Every structure is written in C-alpha cells, then in structure tokens.
Amino acid sequence: MDALFEFLFKYRPLIFDRGDFAFAAPWPVYLALIVGVAVAVPTVFMYARVRGKSGRGDRMALAAIRTAVFALLLFSLFRPVLVLSTVVPQRNFLGILIDDSRSMQIADRDGEPRSAFVSRAFGLEESELLKDLSDRFILRFFKFASGSGRITGLSELSFTGSRTNIGGALDRARQELSSVPLAGLVAITDGADNSNEALTEPLLALRARSVPVYTVGLGREAFSRDIEVSRVETPRSVLKGSSLVVDVMVTQNGYGGSTVQLQVEDAGQIVSTQEVELPARGEAATVRVHFTANEVGPRLFRFRIPPEPGEMVTQNNEQETLIVVEDRRERILYFEGEPRFEVKFLRRAVADDRNMQVVTLLRTAENKFLRLDVDDQEELIGGFPRTREELFAYRGIILGSVEASFFTHDQLQMIADFVSQRGGGLLMLGGRRAFAEGGYAGTPVEDVLPVVLESPAGDDKELFVTEVKVELTPSGMTHAAMQLGATAEETGERWSTLPPVTMVNPIRRIKPGATTLLTGDADNLSGSPVVLAFQRYGRGKALAFPIQDSWTWQMHQDMALEDMTHETLWRQLLRWLVNGVPDRVNVRTPNDRAAPNEPVELVAEVEDDTFLRVNNTEVVANVTTPSGEVISAPMEWTVDRDGEYRASFTPSERGLHEIHVQALEDGEFLASETSYIQITDLASEYFDAEMQSTVLNRIADETGGRFYTPETVSTLAEDISYTESGTTVLEQKELWDMPIVFFLVVLLVSGEWGYRRWRRLV
C-alpha cells in the first residue's frame, strides 16, 4: 500500500505526515487570482451562450470536467511543495537500544532466533541499514534487559537477560544522550516487557524532550504452535499436610481441543497429575489441581505440561513457585458455652493433626469451665481471655453455643479486633446460643460475621430446629477447605451423599462481599439456608457455620467406620481458618523468586504482642546464602507507614536464600520471622514472549516515532532524517510533478472525450 502511495504521490506517507504543505510560486497569489478571474469570466459567459446539440446538463458536466483540468494545471503552476525539517548529516546522534534478554533467543522466524536480525543489521559492515544510519547519524549503541548500559560492539551482547525493562532502558538512553543533539532512539526488541514497571513516565519524558522512538519489533505476534502455563497462584506458606487447590492458567496456539497432562512436582517428585483439555486459540483454560504439601521447609513446586511435538517454545511449559511448608502447631481457641458433642468430635477430628492445637474452654456449668489441651496450668485459668495479649496469642477462635451476654463489651470488641487488627480467623458454630439466637445482633462481633443476623428463630418456649441437607455451592466446589475427594467429581459426590444435619440458626442472607461455600435444603424453611459462609474482615477472616451437629458426619449410620469425611473437613476448615494469619513480624519480597545480581527489596511489618505497629525500632534482616554466607541488612522505618521497614540486598549466588528478620526494642528481643527467596535464572522471558506490537506501536505513537518490522526497516534511516529533533535544516519537496497529477489530467481529458462520444456530441 505504501509503495502504491509512493508511486502516485512521489513520496512515502511519512513525508506527507512530517512535512508542511506550501506553494512556492514565484508570483504573488493575488495576481494569479486576478488573471484567473479575467480568463474565466469571458470563458464562462461565452460558453453559456453556445447553442448546439448539447443540453444544459451536458454543458454543465463538460464545464465541470474542464474546470477540474484547469484547476489541476493551476495547482501545478503554483508549484506546490512540502516543507520538511531534516537532520544535518553527521551532526546528530542516534541511540540504538538492543534487547539483550533471553527471549531474543526464541527461534520463531523461519527457524532463526530473533537475535539474528541484530547480527545481520548491525554486525556486518555491508549491512545497508547500518550504512544508511552511519551516513546520517553518529550512532550510540545500548543493550538492555533488566538494566541497561552503553556498549561499543555487538560482542557485548549475550541475549541472556532474565527480564526486559523497556521503559528503564529508554530513560537511561535519554539521560545519557541528553547533552548532545539527539535525532531519536531506535529500540530493537520483541517488546515483551516483563518488568512490571509502567511505560508512561519514560514516554512522557521523551515526548517532553521531543525525542522520537523508532521501534523495530522482532519475532512473531503469535506462535503457531505453543502451550504455555501462564499463571499459577499459590500461598506463600502452608501448614504441613495441608490440602492445596491451585488454579493453573493454560493457554495454547495450535493445539486446541487436544488433551495434555499437567503435572505437579515437589522437588522433582510428581505429587499430582491432572488431565487438561486445551482451550481454543486465544482463550485461557483454568485447571484446578489438588495436592498435599507433606514435606516440611521451603519447597519448590513445579507445575509442568510436558512439551508436545512441534512446540516453538518449551521453556514456558512450566512454572515454579516457592511454598514454605511450616511444621508448627497452630493454636486455636475453641470456646464452647455448654457441653456439646460437637466439642468431642471436633477435637477427635483434629487430634491426629500435629499441626493443630485446639485449646478448648468448655463452660460446663455456671462459672465452671473445663480446660482441655492447654499448655500449662495458668492458661485460661480465668476463663475467656480478658486481655489482648492473652487472646491474640491464638491464631484462630471458634465460638460455639455461647451467648453474647456472657462476654463483656470489651471482650466482644476484642474478638472483633482479633479479626480486623490481629488478622486472626473467627469461626462461629451454630447452636441455641449462637448468632441471632445468642444475642449477637448489635454487638461488635455481628460486624465481623459474614452473615446477616435477623430476628431470632423460635421462642422462649420452643426452639426452632430444622434438618438441613447440605449442598456445595460453585464457590465451595473450588475451595480448598471443601475438598473431600481426590477430584472435583469425588468431592461433589461426597457432599451430595452426606446425611442431613440440624440447624437452630436459620440464616438466609450473607453480607455484601461474603462468599457462601455451603448452602442447604431444609423442609421447613423458605429459601436455602446458609450453611458455611466467610468474608475477609480487616486483616483476618470470619466464618459462619450455623449447624449444630457436624458430628453427624462421623456418627451417622450411613457413614462407614473408615470414612474420613468428618476429620478431613475439620482439618481443612481449621487449617484454612488460620492460614495466612500474620505473625508479629511479617517479611515480604516482591516475588518468591528473583534473578541473581538483581536487587531484592525486603519489606517487614513489625508489631508488638498486642499487634500494634511498632515504629522506629531496631530491625535487622540477615540473609543466609546457600553457601552459608550471612548478609546483614539493617531495615529502615519507612515513616509514611506505621510499623513498616525496608531494606534491599543483591544476591550473587543462585539457590535458596533464608531471610531472618529480627526486631529489637530497647536492645531486647521483640519478635522475629523467617522467610525465603529462590535466586534462579528466571524463565519469565519465555512467558508472553510473542512480539508485542501493541506495546511497540504505543511507544512509537506517543513519542512521534514509528514502528517497523524487519521487512519494513529499510526506510528507517531516511525516516529518522525527517525530524525536528537535533540539528536540522528545512528542505522543500516538489509536488507539481507527482504522477497523480498527470494521471488525473489524462483521466479528465479522456473522460470528456468519452462523455462526448457517449452523448453523441461529436
């Protein structure tokens, strides 16, 4: 299309884009107009008086054609030109930025890697592009990946960078060339930026300095045959033995409809396998895999689809995540307001779970409590905790059938704070003294609960009770805590065959933002009652489980003795309840893995034993490398956020690094926490590695540059010449001799003749 345009209009569209249109006639325009009018008026007058075989319509048509012919001649006589600003040869600099990341090794164009273009265009002396550019500009080469820098020769390129940061590279080149006349920048890349940094600011800076960026996109916009494990989201830490349900996103090109296997490996050992039917091109399939984290410590889990024959990129068939499998005992306080078999069976269900300690406080009579599984004789000696320190030492609370009036207002507020501020998990069980029936409406605990408390069911004389057949909701189907079988089908089947349980707290509505995992079918209730719902509340989460005898799923005659449904449910439910509950020191890194020699930023939040943020205290991060070297990094309070401290370190070794953060207050130990990061050669370059023409077009458009591919790049040098950046001169491009003018004149004259013949006027 461009070639046709250039043939007709003599120049390429870019010239018209860049240039200003003008007439360069040697005589004044007004004189030409006077002459034109003087000639046109008598002509029109005489033409109008002619009478012959032609009618009025014919004369008008013929007059229009001739007028057009004259107008074209007049246009040419006025000597139309395009005025362009062009660079002065060898007086301007041109920055050439070459992508040095690993994705440049992808061989997606006729079997040759993307980097081959770089070698061909800039590595050979006979390269026309290099010659054209060198003739016009003083060239400065840069390489970029996660960082960027000047290079003096192509030998400095290795194409092994683990990330691509285009914005950073443009910024760096602009700054380095800020003191010289700069005609523009050329970015030679696939555009697959995976730095998570916004391009907006670098582009605004370039635009402000009028530095156009010309982008050369390498690689295919879509691979013809490829399977990619696009995304895997896992928790950073779980308890040993926890059941995990992980969503894995898979995309493909060229394999639509075929079935492949997704494998989950823990340190090379396959722990789960799932069949995946690949989606149609352009669609993403979410695959749910279910596995158990049994090995303690920081574990690298790999989610992998074995490469299929003919795949263009096989490195993107797997994703790794680091999960810290903890082997500690999570302490949960279970407060039950009356003797109930739920206590017995809940405790039995988790008794074998070494990672769960359900500390039970059972009110057996007025002011009489039975304490079970306490750590020492002092624990809970005064009944339900009355101080934040005592309550916040637990990571979860289960409230059984205990009326709200048992608690003081401070205790109720403390329970709410336990969830919102401490980040703990609260689970309220059904019972005649729970929820609305227990008088929780209007208390701080009501705010925390994920369900709407309506007026109590039943009355003083008769307790409302209904049997409920529990049903799994779609949200419950995908939730880790609800998985009772090895597969989704088994889980669905198990839930649908569980015997009914009873409910004395008919709850029908959840709060906005809450999620229902289990619902039910009750004969004497209109609508489906909520059986299990949860919501995030502040830093923690709250669960409502308003049934009173989940032990039925252990004792019912239909439950086989070897059936583990009840145990599995409670273990998973309680593990979920305390999963992600923060410690007093929380250490974060942006990712669970990082590349060597790239700075890793550490963020720690420090709290005291009442979980109030501690500012301006002494916090130190000690990073132990795989070889045992300890890097000490003092952490600074960020000032703008309470209790937040930051530091960074640059790892040089590959492997697992342990990050131990310790907080001291007045020289005394306050709290500590250990986290991990895997330093490895990241494969992120192979994900979303197709040439990103959208990104490259955007860069060019926003800076006044242009986007090229290897096929169109031959005009690059000339295009850059027409710029207002750097040292330039004005140049006029003649337009009177454009072929289109000649073709139009011939067309119009031929048209007139043809019209006359058609109308039999000759």
Asked if 551 touches other proteins (CB under 8 A), the answer is yes
Instruction: Compare residues 555 and 630 and give the one whose CB is closer to other proteins.
Output: 555
In the shown chain, the binding pattern of residues 447 to 466 toward other proteins, with x for contact by CB under 8 A and - for none, equals: ----------------x-x-
Residue 343 found at the interface with other proteins (CB under 8 A): yes
Q: Calculate the CA 76 to chain-centre distance.
A: 57
Q: Which of 729, 343, 356 is nearest to 550 (CA)?
A: 343
Measured from the CB atom, is 469 or 509 closer to other proteins? Answer: 469
Nearest distance from C-beta of residue 238 to other proteins, angstroms = 25
Pick the closer one to other proteins by CB: 277 or 352.
352
Interacting stretch for other proteins, rule CB under 8 A, among 22-30, 158-166, 361-369, 736-744? 361-369
Token code pair at residue 756: 């006359």
Please tell me the distance from the alpha carbon of residue 578 to that of residue 561, in angstroms, as a whole number: 29
**Residue 506 φ then ψ, to 5°:** -70, 105
The token pair at 95 is 């920055």
Site string for other proteins, 473-512 (x = CB under 8 A): -----------------------------x-x--------
At 30, the amino acid letter reads Y
In whole angstroms, how close is the CB of 549 to other proteins at the nearest point? Answer: 9
- Identify which range of 20-28, 131-139, 548-556, 689-697 contacts other proteins by CB under 8 A: 548-556
Task: Quote the CA–CA distance of 390 and 527 in Å, as a whole number.
Answer: 41
Structure tokens at 327: 């082997």
Stretch that binds other proteins, among 186-194, 268-276, 282-290, 364-372 (CB under 8 A): 364-372
Query: In whole angstroms, how close is the CB of 556 to other proteins at the nearest point?
Result: 6
3-state secondary structure 562-601: CCCHHHHHHHHHHHHHHCCCCCCEEEECCCCEECCCCCEE
Q: Using the 8-state DSSP alphabet, how is residue 529 labeled?
A: P
Residues 6 or more apart whose Cβ sits within 8 Å of residue 37? none
CB 319 within 8 A of CB 680: no
Stretch that binds other proteins, among 348-356, 509-517, 518-526, 585-593 (CB under 8 A): 348-356
For the chain, how are helix, strand and coil distributed in percent, rounded to 5? Answer: 30, 30, 40
Strands 530-537 and 515-522: antiparallel
Binding positions for other proteins, 79-98, rule CB under 8 A: none
- Of 82-90, 106-114, 342-350, 743-751, the segment contacting other proteins by CB under 8 A is 342-350
Q: Of 63-71, 340-348, 414-422, 585-593, which part binds other proteins (CB under 8 A)?
A: 340-348
Nearer to other proteins, 433 or 575 (CB): 433
Closest approach of other proteins to the CB of residue 545, in Å:
17
CB of 442 to other proteins, least distance (A): 24
Tell me the closest approach of the beta carbon of residue 368 to other proteins, in angstroms. 5
Residues between 555 and 574 with contacts to other proteins, criterion CB under 8 A: 555-557, 559, 561
Tokens of 660: 């131990």
Could you give the angle at the alpha carbon of 282 between the alpha carbons of 276 and 286, nearest 5°? 35
User: Parallel, antiparallel, or unpaired: how do β-strands 396-399 and 655-665 relate?
Assistant: unpaired
Tell me if residue 29 falls in helix, strand or coil. Answer: helix
Which CB, 365 or 639, lies closer to other proteins? 365
Helix ranges (H only) for 50-110 are 56-77
Question: 739-758 and 2-9 helices cross at what angle (nearest 10)?
Answer: 80
Q: Which residues contact 701 (CB under 8 A, 6 or more apart)?
A: 707
The number of angstroms, rounded, from the C-alpha of 611 to the middle of its chain's C-alpha atoms is 31
- The length of the chain is 762
In the bound state with other proteins, the residue whose beta carbon lies nearer, of 338 and 701, is: 338
Question: Of 706, 685, 711, 700, which is closest to residue 192 (Cα–Cα)?
Answer: 685
Of 521 and 563, which has the nearer Cβ to other proteins? 563
Q: Which stretch binds other proteins (CB under 8 A): 88-96, 199-207, 544-552, 713-721?
A: 544-552
Q: Name which position in 294, 364, 616, 732 contacts other proteins (CB under 8 A).
A: 364
Among 31, 270, 351, 630, binds other proteins (CB under 8 A): 351
Stretch that binds other proteins, among 131-139, 181-189, 357-365, 448-456 (CB under 8 A): 357-365
- Region near other proteins per CB under 8 A, out of 96-104, 247-255, 347-355, 635-643: 347-355
Q: Is-contact 159 143, C-beta < 8 A?
A: no
* Spatial contact of 302 and 320, defined as CB atoms under 8 Å apart: yes
Do 505 and 484 form a contact (C-beta atoms < 8 A)?
A: no
Residue whose structure tokens are 């839930």: 495
Q: How far is CA 157 from CA 115, 145, 150, 278, in A?
A: 10, 10, 11, 37
Interface with other proteins (CB under 8 A), residue from 344, 386, 539, 646: 344
User: What is the bridge-based pairing of β-strands 618-624 and 600-606?
Assistant: unpaired
Looking at 365, 474, 628, 762, which residue binds other proteins (CB under 8 A)? 365
- Does residue 469 interact with other proteins by CB under 8 A? no
Minimum distance between the CB of residue 340 and other proteins, rounded to whole angstroms? 5
The least CB distance from residue 410 to other proteins, in Å, is 24
Nearer to other proteins, 364 or 638 (CB): 364
Per CB under 8 A, the list member of 60, 370, 612, 749 interacting with other proteins is 370
Query: Residue 363 Cβ, how far from other proteins at the closest point, in Å?
Result: 6
CB neighbour list of residue 74: distance below 8 Å, 6 or more residues apart: 32, 36
**Binders in 43-82 for other proteins, by CB under 8 A:** none
Distance CA 413, CA 442 (A): 12
Check residue 20 for interaction with other proteins (CB under 8 A).
Answer: no
Task: Locate 715 and state its tokens.
Answer: 């005009």
- Rounded to whole angstroms, the Cα distance separating 381 from 371 reads 8
Shortest distance, position 416 Cβ to other proteins, whole Å: 25
Q: Least distance to other proteins from the beta carbon of 319, Å? A: 40
Q: How far apart are the first and last CA of the chain?
A: 40
Q: Which is nearer to other proteins, 558 or 653 (CB)?
A: 558
Nearer to other proteins, 473 or 552 (CB): 552
Based on the shown chain and the rule CB under 8 A, indicate whether residue 337 belongs to the binding site for other proteins: yes
**Binding region for other proteins (CB under 8 A) out of 121-129, 368-376, 418-426, 595-603:** 368-376
Considering the complex, state which of residue 279 and residue 439 has its C-beta at the smaller distance from other proteins: 439
| Euclidean distance between CA atoms 156 and 134, whole angstroms | 20
CA–CA gap between residue 670 and residue 673 (Å, rounded): 11
Mask for 371-390, x = binds other proteins (CB under 8 A): -x------------------
Binding-site member from 140, 290, 363, 422 for other proteins (CB under 8 A): 363
Spatial separation of the C-alpha atoms in residues 357 and 350, rounded to whole Å? 8
Cβ of residue 407: shortest distance to other proteins, in angstroms?
16
> d(Cα 650, Cα 685) in Å, to the nearest integer?
20
**Site map for other proteins, 414-443, x if CB under 8 A?**
------------------x-----------
Q: How many residues of this chain interact with other proteins, rule: CB under 8 A?
A: 36
Residue 736 to residue 71: CA distance in whole angstroms: 13
Binding site for other proteins (CB under 8 A): 337-341, 343-345, 347-348, 351-352, 360, 362-368, 370, 372, 432, 463, 465, 502, 504, 548, 551-552, 554-557, 559, 561
